[in-house]
Structure 1
Amino acid sequence: MSDTVAEESTGKKPGWRKVLTSLSQPKTGYMLLFGFAAGLPYALLLGTLYAWLSDAKVDLETMGVFSLIGLSYAFKFLWSPALDRIDLPLLRRLGKRKQWIVTAQIFLGIALVTLSMLNPVTALGWFSLLAGIGAFMSATQDVVIDAWRVDVADDVATIDILSTVYQMGYRLAALAGGALALILAERIGWPQVYLLMGGILLVVGILGLWAPDADAKASEVLDADDEHGLRQAGQLQPKIRGLALLAVGALWGWALIIVGVFMVQSLGSNPELRPDSVQFITTMGPLIVIATVVVPAFIAALLVKLERSGSYKLEQAQPSRTVGDRALDHLYRALVLPLTEFVGRMGWSLVLVLALVLTYRITDSVWGTFAYPFYLGELQYTKDEVAFASKFFGVGAVVLGLALGGYLLTVLGRMMTLLLGAILAALTNLLYADLSIGGYGLAAASRFSGFTWLAETLGGDERMSKLLLAIGLENLAIGIAGAAFVAWMSSIVAKGYSAVQYALLSSLTMLVGTLGRGALGQMIEERGYYDVFILTTLIGGIAVVLVIFEWIRISRKGKDSGIDETALKNA
C-alpha cells in the first residue's frame, strides 16, 4: 500500500457507520486475534518471565542471560527479507503470510508449554535457550502480522481500522500476560500460568488456519513480474545489480553476525563473560542502523538514479541460464528491491518520513524505562498503587484512546489524527512535570473535574487521584497517537514488500528510544525529573512540526496526482 490518499476517497465524510461496517469484517476479527497473539509472548517473555525468575530465587546477574530477548524485537528487520520470499514446505497453500503466522503461533504455544515443564533453577540453560528462541519466533510473528495487515486491507476493512484493532488486541494481551499472569501465579503457580498461556496461543494458531490472506493472484503476479522483469530489455544490467546485492548483503550479513555472536555470548554459562545488552545497543546499535538502513538507502538511491538516467541498462532481454543467475535474482528481489521501491517512490521525502518515524514515539519509548523509578522512588507511591494505576487503569485508558483514535481516523482523517496525537502526546509530559514538583495543577484539575471525589469513593485519596489522572490522560493520548501512527506507517509501505519495509520502520522506533535512555538517565540524576519532562515535551514538539510537513507533502502529492479535496481530507 503506497502513501497515496486516493484509496480512502469515498466522496462522503466517514463516521460510525463506516466503523461498524469495517468492524463486522472477518479480517477485523482475525486482526484482533493476531494482535492478541503478538502481544502475549512479548509480555510473557520480556516482562513476566523475570517475575518467575525472581520467585525462583535466580540472582539478578544470572538473569542477564535473558538480555538477548529484547534484541530479537529490536533487530527483527534483519531476517524480514526471508519472510517476504521464503515459502515453508507444504504450508504455502495457506497463503504467503499465513504460512508464517500459523507456524509461529503454534511454535510459540509449544515453547510456552515446554517452558512450563522446566525448572528455571536446575535447567536454566535450556530455559534461557527456549525463551530466546521463543522471542525470535515472536519477533518473526510480529513482522509477518504487520505485513498481513498491510496486504489484506481494503476499502471496507481499512488499514486505519485494522491498525487500531491490532493494537487493542496487543494491549489486552499485555494485560493478560502481565497483571493477570501475576494474579494467577499467586494462586496456581508459574508453571500452570505458562501452560495456560501456551494453550491459548496453540488455539489461536489453529483458528488462524481459517483467516483470510492476501490476494494470492496479486502475489503471483508480483513474483512473476519480478522474476522475468529483472532481465528484460531496459532493466539494470545483472553486473550492476550483483554489485549492489554484494554491498547490501555484506552489510546486512555483518549486522546478523554481530547480533548472532552477541546472542550466543549471552547464552554462556559464565556470567562474567556475558556482554552487557545496554552497552551493546548503545555502541553497536547506531552502527547497525547505519549499515542496514543508511548506507543501503544510498545504494538504493544510486540504483534508482541509474534506472531513470538510462545508464547500465540491458539492450535486450537476458534470461537467467544458471543457478547463479537465479540466485542473484532471488536475493536481489528479497533484499534490494524493497529498498529501491521505497527510495524510488519516496525520493527525498524519505528523509522526512524517517525523521518522523524516529521522533513521533520517542518520548514514550525513552520515558517508559524510568516510569517505575519515578512512581516508586521519586513520588513514593506503593507498588499496589502503581500496579493498579498503570496496569489496570492505565491499560483501560490506552484501549479507550485506541477506540477514540480509530473513530477519529474515520472522521478527521489520518493526518489530522496523527497531528492531534503528536500534540496530545507531547503535552501530557507536562502533567508529569507538574507531578514531579507536587502536582498542584493536577490536584486542582482533579477536584474541579470530580476525579478526586471518584477516587475517594473507590477508597483512594487526592494523592492517588493525581496519579490516576496523569496516567489516564497520558495513556489516552498514547492510544490516539498509537492508532494514527501505526495506520500512517502501514499506509506508506508497499504491498509485496511490506514485511521488509514495515519491519525497518518499526525497528527504528524501538532502537532510537533505547539509544536515548542512557543520556536521559544521566540527566535525571543531574537535573531531576522536572527538567527531563520539559525536554521530552520539546522533543514531542519536533514531531508535531514534522507531522505538519508530512501532511503538506501528502497534500501536494495528492494535488499533483489529480486527487480531489475530499480524498485529501480523508488522508
Structure 2
Amino acid sequence: MNDTVKVVLSGRMLVALLMGFSSGLPLLLTGSVLQAWMTDEGVDLGTIGLFALVGLPYTLKFLWAPVVDRYALPLLGRRRGWLLLTQLCLMLAIAALGWTHPAQHVLPVALAALLVTFFSASQDIVIDAYRREALADRELGLGASLYVNGYRIGMLLASGGGLILADFIPFPQVYQLMAIVMLIGIGTTLFAPEPVAAQGLPASLGEAVIHPFVDFFKHQHAWLILLFILLFKVGDIMASNMTIPFYLDIGFSKSEIGAVVKLFGFWATLAGGLLGGIVMLRAGIYRSLWGFGILQAVSTAGFALLALTGYSLPMLAAVIAFENLSGGMGTAAFVAFMASLTNRRFTATQYALLTSLMGIPRVIVAAPTGYMAEGLGWVGFFVFCTLIAIPGLLLLTRFRGWLGEAGRAD
C-alpha cells in the first residue's frame, strides 16, 4: 500500500495531471465558447454550424505524428522540445483568435480557430507520447486517469469559466486570459524530466511513417484489438448521445439537468477516473477492463430503470453518480490499454492512430440513436445500449494471455 501512495503522490503523476489540463483547455475554445461569441455577434446559424470542421485536426493528427517520432528539436530533448514549441504556438493562436472580429470577417476567425485546433492536436500527440515513455507499465492506468481528470478540469475552466467570464468582460479578453493560462502547461514542460529515448528510433521519415503500421500488425491479435477499440465504449457512447432529450422528455427541467447531470456528474467522473487509476495499480489493465466494462454496461441499464421510474431527482442523482463513476473508471482503463499497445520507438504515431480510431464510434454509431430511441422507446433503447457492450467484453477473453499480467502489482 505504501508503494501505491508513493506512486499516487509522485512528481510523474503531477506532470500527467498538469499536462492533461493543458490538453483539455483549448478544446472548447473553438467549440462552445466560440459558438457563444459568434451568436452574440449575430453570425448566422449555418456559418456557426460549419465551424465544426475546424475540429478536423483532432481526427487527422496521425498524419503528422511521424514527424514528431522522427525528428528531435535542438532544445529540451525529443519530447519536451516539440511540446514547448507546440504550446508556445498554441498560446499565440488562442490570443490571435481573440483578436479576430466574427461579426465583420468570418474567414480570419476560421483560420485562427483552425490554428488553435492544429496546435492543440499537435500538443496532444506529444503529451500522449511523453506519458507513455515517462511512466512504467504498471503506472499507465493511474497516469491515464490523472491525465483524463486534468483534461476535464481544463475543459471546464475554458467552457464553464469562459462563458461565465464573458458575462463580465468582452470575449476577446476571455481568450487573452485563456492564452495566459497556457503558461501552466509551458511551466510543466520546462520543469518535467525528459523521458529516456528508446533504442532503434526511426532513421528516416519514411521509416517513421511505415514502421509503426508494420510493427503494430505484427501483433497476433492486431485486428481484434482494433475491433475491441471500436466496441468497448460503444454502448456508453450511444446512450450518452440521447441522454439530454431523454431527461427533458421525462420531465426534468434544464436547471435540474445542469445541476445534477453537469455539475454533480462532473465530480463523479473525476472520482471515477482517480479510483480507476488506483485500482489499476493493484489489479492491472486486463482485470480492470473487465470489471470497469461490466460496471459501464450495468450503469447504462440504470437509464432504463430511470425511464421506468419517471421523474425522480434522487433516482436521477443515483443513476448519474453510478454512470459517471463507472464511465470515468472505464475511460481510464481504456486509455491505459491503448498506451500499453504502443512501441516506445513509435509512440507518437501509434497512439495518434489508436486515439483517432477511438473517435470513430462517437460519430458513426451516435448518428442513428435518435431513430432507435423513437423506434424502441426509452426503455428498449437503453436495454439495447446495455447489451451491445457484451461483444467488446467477450473480445477481452482473447487478450488474456498477453494482457492478463501486464502492469499488475503483485
Structure 2 length normalisation: TM-score?
A: 0.93
Cα contact 1:146–1:502 (8 A) shared by 2: yes
1:128 aligned to which of 96, 110, 116: 110
Shift of 1:570: 4.0
Are 1:525 and 2:374 counterparts? yes
| Whole-Å separation in 2 of the counterparts to 1:434 and 1:187 | 42
1:119 aligned to which of 91, 101, 107: 101
| Whole-Å separation in 2 of the counterparts to 1:470 and 1:490 | 30
Question: 2:336: which partner in 1?
Answer: 487
Question: 2:54: which partner in 1?
Answer: 69
Note the alpha carbon deviations across 1:399-453, whole angstroms, 9 max, x for none.
Answer: 10011101111222221111111001111111111222334xxxxxxxxxxxxxx
Question: 2:358: which partner in 1?
Answer: 509
2:153 aligned to which of 158, 166, 172: 172
1:368 aligned partner, one-letter code: S
Q: How does 1:398-413 map to 2 (within 5 A)?
A: 398-413=269-284
Give SS of 1:93's match: coil
Cα contact 1:103–1:205 (8 A) shared by 2: no
Residues paired across the two proteins, number:
410
Question: 2:21: which partner in 1?
Answer: 36
RMSD: 2.1
Q: How does 1:228-239 map to 2 (within 5 A)?
A: none
Cα contact 2:18–2:188 (8 A) shared by 1: no
2:333 aligned partner, one-letter code: A
Cα contact 2:284–2:409 (8 A) shared by 1: yes
Shift of 1:514: 0.8
Give SS of 1:437's match: helix
Shift of 1:489: 1.2
Shift of 1:465: 2.2
Q: 1:179 to 1:431 in 2, by over 3 A?
A: same
Question: 2:178: which partner in 1?
Answer: 197
Q: 1:165 to 1:390 in 2, by over 3 A?
A: same
Q: How does 1:259-408 map to 2 (within 5 A)?
A: 330-344=204-218, 346-347=219-220, 349-376=221-248, 378-408=249-279
| Whole-Å separation in 2 of the counterparts to 1:364 and 1:58 | 34
Specify every segment of 5 or more residues in structure 2 that has no aligned partner in the other structure, as ranges: none
Cα contact 1:28–1:162 (8 A) shared by 2: yes
Are 1:222 and 2:94 counterparts? no
Shift of 1:203: 4.1
Question: 1:298: which partner in 2?
Answer: none
1:178 aligned partner, one-letter code: S
Cα contact 2:275–2:329 (8 A) shared by 1: yes
| Whole-Å separation in 2 of the counterparts to 1:44 and 1:468 | 29
| Whole-Å separation in 2 of the counterparts to 1:184 and 1:471 | 28
Shift of 1:180: 2.4
Q: 1:112 to 1:380 in 2, by over 3 A?
A: farther
| Whole-Å separation in 2 of the counterparts to 1:190 and 1:19 | 44
Shift of 1:53: 2.1
| Whole-Å separation in 2 of the counterparts to 1:502 and 1:134 | 21
Q: How does 1:70-85 map to 2 (within 5 A)?
A: 70-85=55-70
| Whole-Å separation in 1 of the counterparts to 2:43 and 2:376 | 35
Give SS of 1:58's match: coil
| Whole-Å separation in 1 of the counterparts to 2:101 and 2:240 | 31
Give SS of 2:195's match: coil
Question: 1:540: which partner in 2?
Answer: 389
2:365 aligned partner, one-letter code: G
Farther-moved stretch of structure 1 (414-423 vs 65-74): 65-74
Give SS of 1:517's match: coil
| Whole-Å separation in 2 of the counterparts to 1:553 and 1:23 | 26
Shift of 1:494: 0.9
Note the alpha carbon deviations across 1:506-557, whole angstroms, 9 max, x for none.
Answer: 11111122111222222123333322211111111222212233224534xx
| Whole-Å separation in 1 of the counterparts to 2:213 and 2:32 | 34
Question: 2:71: which partner in 1?
Answer: 86
| Whole-Å separation in 2 of the counterparts to 1:151 and 1:569 | 18
Cα contact 1:414–1:570 (8 A) shared by 2: no
| Whole-Å separation in 2 of the counterparts to 1:514 and 1:401 | 25
| Whole-Å separation in 1 of the counterparts to 2:8 and 2:357 | 30
Shift of 1:167: 0.9
Give SS of 1:388's match: helix
Shift of 1:371: 2.8
Cα contact 2:285–2:407 (8 A) shared by 1: no
2:157 aligned partner, one-letter code: A
Shift of 1:398: 0.5
Specify every segment of 5 or more residues in structure 1 that has no aligned partner in the other structure, as ranges: 1-14, 228-329, 440-461, 559-566
Question: 1:259: which partner in 2?
Answer: none
Q: 1:364 to 1:74 in 2, by over 3 A?
A: farther
2:223 aligned partner, one-letter code: V
Give SS of 1:518's match: coil
Give SS of 1:114's match: helix
| Whole-Å separation in 2 of the counterparts to 1:340 and 1:192 | 48
1:392 aligned partner, one-letter code: L
| Whole-Å separation in 2 of the counterparts to 1:57 and 1:463 | 39
| Whole-Å separation in 2 of the counterparts to 1:380 and 1:185 | 30
Are 1:26 and 2:11 counterparts? yes
Question: 1:452: which partner in 2?
Answer: none
| Whole-Å separation in 2 of the counterparts to 1:532 and 1:469 | 20
2:269 aligned partner, one-letter code: V
1:537 aligned partner, one-letter code: T
| Whole-Å separation in 1 of the counterparts to 2:25 and 2:391 | 33
Cα contact 2:242–2:369 (8 A) shared by 1: no
Q: 1:541 to 1:570 in 2, by over 3 A?
A: farther
Q: 1:379 to 1:128 in 2, by over 3 A?
A: farther
Cα contact 2:91–2:180 (8 A) shared by 1: yes
Give SS of 2:237's match: helix
2:246 aligned partner, one-letter code: F
Q: 1:48 to 1:373 in 2, by over 3 A?
A: farther
| Whole-Å separation in 2 of the counterparts to 1:203 and 1:544 | 38
| Whole-Å separation in 1 of the counterparts to 2:161 and 2:319 | 23
Identity within the alignment, %: 33
Q: How does 1:410-449 map to 2 (within 5 A)?
A: 410-439=281-310
Cα contact 1:19–1:161 (8 A) shared by 2: no
Give SS of 2:194's match: coil
1:520 aligned partner, one-letter code: T
Structure 1 length normalisation: TM-score?
A: 0.68
Question: 1:554: which partner in 2?
Answer: 403
Give SS of 2:180's match: helix
Are 1:104 and 2:89 counterparts? no
